[in-house]
Amino acid sequence: MIVMSNRIRAFTVALSATLAAVALTASAADAAAKIQRYVSPGGIEAWFVQDATVPVIAMEYSFDGGSSQDPADKTGVGNLVASMLNEGAGELDSKTYQDRLDRRAISLSWSAARDHFRGSLRTLKENGDEAFGLLKLALTAPRFENEPLERERAQVISGLRRETTNPNSLAGRRFFETLFGNHPYGRNSSGTLESVPTITPADLKQYAGRVFARDTLKVSVVGDIEPDALGKLLDMTFGTLPAKGDLVLIPKIEAAKPPQRSLIALDVPQTVVMFGGPGIHRDDPDFMAAFVANHILGGGSFSSRLYREIREKRGLAYSVYEQLLWMKQSAIFTGATATRADRANETVDTITTEARRMADEGPTQQELDDAKSYLKGSQMLALDTNSKIASALLLFQLDKLGIDYIEKRNALVDAVTLEDVKRVSRRLWGNGLLTVIVGRSA
């Protein structure tokens, strides 16, 4: 995400002065009870939690599109749009626009994920009108001028050059290229050293014109604002956007099937190992069982099988993780670790063995019970601020989970049986792993 660090610092100072000893937010349980589907007079829908605990407004929103809408020969357009939206809009040049944000401690940020272009707004209640007004300008009248574009382009190119010697970046790029080939999901969202220099202001304007539209807009708002006031701000901010976007259809794709292994030779102190394979879609009936199974194998931090085998028993690496990733047109699981070059083969073999054991035997009942207990308790701890609640509500909308998902999620976890987890473990890990190794030795 493109984070405006000076603005966040200013926001923190202003917020601390205002709040004193007041608690930061209501509990997640209280928030769940307050979630409402609000529709503005102009027809803009938002999931909304009105919370006057602190005088802060947090908004998350997204449009369909993301980096998958980059032209094949100009990857990185969406990423540059995200970098440029605060670099002047309407009659305000870059410096004036950013001064307005700084003066009111307003935080605006954007990012281009694979399927969605996302934005965030954070503001004190008293500055709400100006914050939403500046956001409207960014979305409807971005300037995309040459001077700030060249500055942002230089930063992106510098980052891409660093990635050519960064083992984690190299592993990630090779991993997604292997899984998805020439499909948009296989491309680097930041672009390439060849594509980024060719991107023009016209490319940025064309992208914004195709992607920023009301038909795919999703909004979540949490904070100290009355519904009527929110409705006016939503209509003012989003109401003049085009009714429909002009998106390129992205085809469905099945990730490449394992087992496969790829080596990138690089003289670095530690060898990076990235592994994964085809996953399970978010709307698949087996998804929650897969979520629990993944937690047991590699998603449970200090309690996972991979952590115990890789770090505690063998001392091969400091950390190892695995997670499920799902997109609109595909789904995968992925994990990573880093180890000494002379122990890379042992590390890969251990990960492969544990994945195979999980596929063949599944977990124990105790592992399942422990995973359920953790996953049910962790949800509330993950929703302890307005910003986190707003982010979660947006994700629930994008995943079409229903406005009552927070309330029903623990029941879904409880409903997972040992047989469910064994069955889904065979689906996920029964064919082995696709592995990318970057370092001095395989």
Q: Is residue 353, in this structure, part of any structural domain at all?
A: yes
Same domain, 29 and 157: yes
User: In the predicted model, is pLDDT for residue 97 greater than 80?
Assistant: yes
Q: Contact 169/163 with Cβ under 8 angstroms?
A: yes
pLDDT tens, position by position, 311-370: 999 999 999 999 999 999 999 999 999 999 999 999 999 999 999 999 999 999 999 999
**Domain stop point among 176, 206, 238:** 238
- Token reading at 6: 């000076």
Residue given tokens 């401690």 in the structure block: 105
Q: Is residue 296, in this structure, part of any structural domain at all?
A: yes
Same domain, 42 and 104: yes
Q: Contact 201/302 with Cβ under 8 angstroms?
A: no
pLDDT tens, position by position, 264-280: 999 999 999 999 999 99
Q: Is residue 45, in this structure, part of any structural domain at all?
A: yes
Same domain, 222 and 369: no
**What's the number of domains the chain is made of?**
2
Q: Is residue 82, in this structure, part of any structural domain at all?
A: yes
Same domain, 229 and 174: yes
Judging by DSSP bridges, how do beta strands 331-340 and 270-278 pair with one another?
antiparallel
Which amino acid is it at 88? G
pLDDT of residue 378: 84
Cα–Cα distance, 199 to 196 (Å, whole number): 6
Same domain, 162 and 301: no
Lowest mean pLDDT among 92-101, 146-155, 157-166, 294-303: 294-303
- Token reading at 258: 């394992």
Tell me the residue range of the domain where 418 lies: 260-439
User: In the predicted model, is pLDDT for residue 263 greater than 80?
Assistant: yes
Same domain, 222 and 85: yes
Average pLDDT, the chain: 92
pLDDT tens, position by position, 124-181: 999 999 999 999 999 999 999 999 999 999 999 999 999 999 999 999 999 999 999 9
Same domain, 99 and 33: yes
Return the CATH number at 137: 3.30.830.10
Cα–Cα distance, 218 to 116 (Å, whole number): 10
Same domain, 279 and 385: yes
User: In the predicted model, is pLDDT for residue 37 greater than 50?
Assistant: yes
User: In the predicted model, is pLDDT for residue 12 greater than 50?
Assistant: no
pLDDT of residue 6: 46
The mean pLDDT of 384-403, rounded to a whole number, is: 94
Is residue 261 within a helix (H) or strand (E), and if so which, with residue range? strand 260-265
Same domain, 210 and 264: no
Same domain, 198 and 345: no
User: In the predicted model, is pLDDT for residue 379 greater than 60?
Assistant: yes
User: In the predicted model, is pLDDT for residue 20 greater than 80?
Assistant: no
Q: Is residue 252, in this structure, part of any structural domain at all?
A: no
Q: Contact 294/324 with Cβ under 8 angstroms?
A: yes
Q: Contact 187/78 with Cβ under 8 angstroms?
A: no
How much is the pTM?
A: 0.89
Q: Is residue 246, in this structure, part of any structural domain at all?
A: no
pLDDT of residue 30: 63
**Domain stop point among 238, 271, 290:** 238
SS (H, E, C) 324-356: EEECCCCEEEEEEEEEEHHHHHHHHHHHHHHHH
Same domain, 317 and 373: yes
Structure confidence at residue 117 as a pLDDT band (50, 70, 90): very high
Which amino acid is it at 209? G
pLDDT of residue 303: 85
Same domain, 310 and 377: yes
Task: Give the residue with greater pLDDT, 84 vs 6.
Answer: 84
**Domain stop point among 203, 238, 273:** 238
User: In the predicted model, is pLDDT for residue 195 greater than 50?
Assistant: yes
Residue given tokens 């296989």 in the structure block: 186
